[in-house]
Chain A
């Protein structure tokens, strides 16, 4: 093991003599650092350093020893080595001297590496106005970039329409499976739980008016018009929006997208369009599943909490809904699907440089997809009110 004793200090007529022993290696830094720091240099005119008994001296050790020598010289002591100074000292010296040669005069006689490091340009301080300006420009570029992306995808889609093979049906099928079929369990579970929560809350309130029967109306209209499609979209935005961004993003980092382009394959046609179209097919179907499970959840709760027989529940449901109720919900799904698919693929295509970008843009994709879905839902709410459905 490394001996703890690394330094012997003797007082001589002119000053002090140091005898270095043991292993001066990076991993034993603590020992020799504290030993050197403890040496009292006050009043010493001459410091003699013997290194013959050193078992090992690496660059970290040599650097620390050099620091000590510089410190001793600054305090007016003359430093000599018994025999020749170790090679490692010379190597550190040779590496550092070019920097120190360009040193500024006193009071900083020696330009340390740290000073050099501090001279390097650091990002300019960002004042509020610059900050606002930059954000505005970024936002503008972001929006025009998204619009350009939408245009590019549309052009690709319309260009592919006459030749359906270029729509890549197999690829689309894979994305319908990935984004749709595999999402059924989680979508069904959440739809069930949400309808139970809505039914339970409303039952508590309506009971005081003796109007428990309207629980059915609330659950049915709530789930079919809003909750079914909205919750499904939010889950899908989290699942598939992130997976689109991460998948395409890592392909970008791996230069796979460049390879596709070099082969003459349009990445929008091969990567973006199948994902968006797959989602446009999958999301309405998922919404129907969510609607169905939501209604079942309502039925279960009505039966257990309000002791409502199933046939009464079904009759009430058919009274509550109008012919458009179901379609008002489902019609929103393809629109949401386009928004989620665009956000995911767009952010994925923006990845460049490092894995840090990949993480950042995946997060942006999900947050943006959810935001866009809710924003679009608000537009639909106003629209449907105006046209009276």
Chain B
């Protein structure tokens, strides 16, 4: 049986009386770029934390390549965590380590047999791959610009060559040109490395440029469709999101009218 890369069924997340997710379903297919969209406070980050196994949901199943991570713990969960890469909104680079050491950290954790020189070369390969100059390798995160932090975080996420990549607001805080560059980089790597990308974003440009399918969190559930069709979804929030003033220009561009 072929599993979807990521399959979420009946996810329920609650904090006290506050319901975040109530029976949320989500499917991510192989080799696609899946965008997660939602208003502030609709639980995009909570969804991501649940899927990453950082937080246990009240109910529901989350299958990563067939493994239900809500049932796993200890070494089994650790093994699943080695199979995906993730970048966080602020980069979350370890500030006490250089960029090179940041990229090497997952390798040190999971590939003990790797020699120090092989580790250096592989880490440099990843750093070059995301378009960082070689001298960035020895810099500390505090010395990097916003765009470089995002790239370094991407290099770290790719350290173990995962097939599945989670990006939390990868273009937030970047100027439009850097954001577009990051989108292109992500698309290039996605095609070259045949990655499946799950991306949380607010950036409409980014969605129209990169996403194959989009999941919108509305009313504690997710409405999923291809980009072409989701824009015509009757839900008022989705209408407002894709047909607000900021969005219409892009729709026109995307449809060539």
Contact = CB atoms under 8 A, between A and B. Distances in A.
Q: Does B associate with A? A: yes
A341 B7 CA distance: 55
Interface stretch (B25-33, B58-66, B136-144, B229-237): B136-144
Contact of B125 (A113, A120, A122): A113
B137 to A, nearest CB: 6
A112 B118 CA distance: 11
Nearest to A122: B138
Interface string B100-139: 1000000100110110011011101110110000110110
Interface in B182-198: 192-193
Given A26-B111, A59-B193, A63-B121, A117 B137 contact: yes
B140 A114 contact: no
A26 B161 contact: yes
Contacts of B140: 354
Interface residues of A, number: 30
A30 B107 CA distance: 12
Interface in B150-206: 158-161, 192-193
A30 B111 CA distance: 8
B138 A120 contact: yes
A266 interface: no
Contacts of A87: 192
A63 B125 CA distance: 9
A129 interface: no
Nearest to B141: A354
Interface string A21-38: 000011101100100000
Contacts of B117: 114
B122 A60 contact: yes
Contacts, number: 81
Interface in A38-61: 58-61
Contacts of A96: 125, 128
Contacts of A92: 125
A193 interface: no
Given A26-B160, A120-B135, A114 B120 contact: yes
A117 B129 contact: no
A58 B82 CA distance: 14
Nearest to A358: B95
A59 B121 contact: no
Contact of A113 (B83, B121, B160): B121
A354 B142 contact: yes
Nearest to B110: A27
Interface string A86-107: 0110011001100100000000
Contacts of A26: 107, 110-111, 159-161
B1 interface: no
Given A29-B111, A354-B96, A60 B161 contact: yes
Contacts of A116: 124, 134
A33 B113 contact: yes
Nearest to B116: A114
Contacts of B118: 64
A354 B95 contact: yes
Contacts of A60: 122, 160-161
Contacts of B114: 29
Contact of A117 (B83, B95, B120, B126): B120
Contacts of B159: 26
Nearest to B139: A120
B87 to A, nearest CB: 17
Contact of B122 (A30, A63, A355): A63
Contact of B113 (A30, A353, A354, A356): A30
A58 B125 contact: no
Max chain B Cβ within 10 angstroms of own Cβ: one of A60, A96, A114, A356: A60
Given A29-B114, A30-B113, A116-B124, 20 more contacts: A26-B110, A27-B82, A27-B110, A27-B111, A29-B111, A33-B113, A58-B161, A88-B193, A91-B193, A96-B128, A99-B128, A117-B120, A117-B137, A120-B135, A122-B138, A353-B142, A354-B140, A354-B141, A355-B95, A356-B95
Interface of B: 82-83, 95-96, 100, 107, 110-111, 113-114, 117-118, 120-122, 124-126, 128-129, 134-135, 137-138, 140-142, 158-161, 192-193
Ranked nearest first, the 4 interchain pairs of A and B with the lowest CB-CB distance are A58-B161, A354-B95, A353-B142, A113-B124
5 contacts: A87-B192, A96-B128, A114-B121, A120-B137, A353-B142
Interface of A: 25-27, 29-30, 33, 58-61, 63-64, 87-88, 91-92, 95-96, 99, 112-114, 116-117, 120, 122, 353-356
